[in-house]
Amino acid sequence: MPGATIHNKVMSHHNSADKGDQIYQWHHVSKEQTGKREFVAYTTDMWTSVQNIAFMCMTVHWVTPDWRLESAIMQTREVCEKHTGENISIRLADAATEWGIPEDKIAATVHDNGSNINLAMNLLDAWPDQRCFAHTLQLAINSGLSVRAIEKMLGAARRLTAHFKRSTVSTEALRAKQVALGGVGASAEGGVEEQCKILEVTTDCSTRWNSTLDMLDRLVKLRWAIGAVLSDPTFTARSHASTLELTDGNWSLAQALIPILTPLKRITTLSSGQNYPSLSSVFPHLFIIIRNIEVEVAEEPAAAKECRQIIVRELKRRYYADGYATSNAAKAAVLDPRYKLMKFFEEGQRKESYEAIRSEINGMLLQPAPATSDSSSTNPPPAKKCKLDTFDDELADLCSSAAADNNGIIHELDVYLSETPLTLNSDILQYWRDNCARLPKMASLARKYLCIPATSVPSESAFSTAGFVINRKRASLSPETADMLIFLNRNWDSCFDSAGSSAAAASASSTSSASDSAIAAP
């Protein structure tokens, strides 16, 4: 039958040998293309699968010749040896060698604050490293939430949410009480649309502080409906209700923590984006966090005030140590045309940041970077979208005003600083695309520092993919097969972009000929 012949021919195109060759070629082309980039940045993290096998993931990030921010998964490899700093450093060095990336092209390696990865980066002297902003922020917030009164309140909140999660009767009663309250599932603090929703309680996860905020926010919105359920003996025995009810002090404390944690959650989300440069926003975000958290609030619970103070102290200790003005994040901010006036630094630190950029330019022997466009895409990346609010207004204010004093700075940097900063939602890569020929050395540094992610989220998100690839129904996958499947899943588009003119085109031609022959067969 012709149909069977077509089916057999198409299936033969997808046999393991053909696909294995094509995958190998895509993998090889990806390595070759990545190795040609002017500068690249890594992220890395470790994960344990359902097979109880440890994997180490590495992602690579770069700015293309036509100023698009690109990334790819390098590898997700099994780690059999102990996770010591020395062994991790060997793994990182081997990956760079395998991908043909010399040390002088590595802009930074972004990682969490684990002692083993910190030791690994110390052993790799020539590799600049960058602590994950999201993880560092989490450590500071966890320190603030460790206040004794807050810990007790969170324990009571978890017992309360666990009760509703376990009891279907109480959950249905909570829904009914929301309807009885006029459809107001949330308190009057929620928006009109939210007030019409029937909400459920949520509980937190110990490894994600933002889930603690979500839990408190939901409890405060459901406070009166929860109180109605617990006070109704039809659904909750009075002896049990007394162990679940939060005190007025706990409710006040939960409500006071929400405005402290909400902007921190938003900044974590903004800093974790992968489609736009994020490292340049670290110090502007820190400036706004500290300036707003330090403001005293009238009649605030003492525990909430102490939480504010601890978070500010921890952030200052971790980010404003000696040399912070010449860090990767500070240099990235100078090279971000929105934040280049560095209004979030004092004058002395601002001059240090400018001097660091000037020193790098003086040491450069690079030719002006060509402003060519890849054949794969001619569309600029979309501008980052943000809703205007107080947070955005404060960020926008940092983008304005007259240029800072830049006496003594070399001509290219002098010209750059004298020009009007971009607005907050401007596309900074588009700016460098338009000005790279005019400011070639500055543009080269922009490629170097703007490709560095602020967080190690790209590696962590790769493990979400890994969790779908290696699940309980596919627990027999070998680590090598899993590595290749994850590589293809996350790099599929770039595989076709880089190899489309060679492997994919040749494969398509071969398939077309085979299909024509099959259709012509009787």
Q: What is the mean pLDDT of each run of 10 residues along the chain (522 residues)?
A: 36 44 52 71 92 91 94 91 94 91 93 94 92 94 95 95 92 91 56 66 86 94 92 85 91 95 93 93 96 88 96 95 94 97 96 94 60 44 51 67 40 91 95 95 96 93 83 84 86 60 43 38 36
Four-residue CA torsion sign, 514, 515, 521, 522: positive
Determine the pLDDT at residue 35.
55
Question: How far is Cα 43 from Cα 126, in angstroms, rounded to an integer?
Answer: 16
Determine the pLDDT at residue 429.
97
Determine the pLDDT at residue 27.
53
- Strand 54-63 versus strand 69-78 pairing type: antiparallel
Determine the pLDDT at residue 363.
83
Domains and CATH numbers, the chain: 2-132+456-520 (3.30.420), 141-264 (no CATH), 322-374+387-450 (no CATH)
Helix axes 148-166, 248-271, angle to 10 degrees: 90
Q: What is the DSSP annotation of 468-512?
A: HHS-GGGTT--HHHHHHHHHHHHHHHHHHHHHIIIIIHHHHHHHH
Determine the pLDDT at residue 186.
44
Question: How far is Cα 364 from Cα 444, in angstroms, rounded to an integer?
Answer: 9
Question: How far is Cα 216 from Cα 256, in angstroms, rounded to an integer?
Answer: 10
Question: How far is Cα 438 from Cα 47, in angstroms, rounded to an integer?
Answer: 45
CB atoms within 10 A of CB 321: 9
Question: How far is Cα 287 from Cα 280, in angstroms, rounded to an integer?
Answer: 13
Q: Quote the tokens at residue 492.
A: 């599929």
Question: How far is Cα 358 from Cα 445, in angstroms, rounded to an integer?
Answer: 11
Give 280's DSSP letter.
G
Question: How far is Cα 273 from Cα 269, in angstroms, rounded to an integer?
Answer: 7
Instruction: Quickly list H helices, 294-422.
Output: 302-319, 328-334, 347-362, 390-398, 411-418
Question: How far is Cα 354 from Cα 403, in angstroms, rounded to an integer?
Answer: 12
Order of strands, edge to edge, in the sheet holding 106-111?
Answer: 69-78, 54-63, 40-48, 106-111, 129-131
Q: What is the DSSP annotation of 235-262?
A: TS-HHHHHHHPPPHHHHHHHHHHHHHHH
pTM attached to this predicted model: 0.79
Question: How far is Cα 331 from Cα 448, in angstroms, rounded to an integer?
Answer: 10
CB atoms within 10 A of CB 54: 17
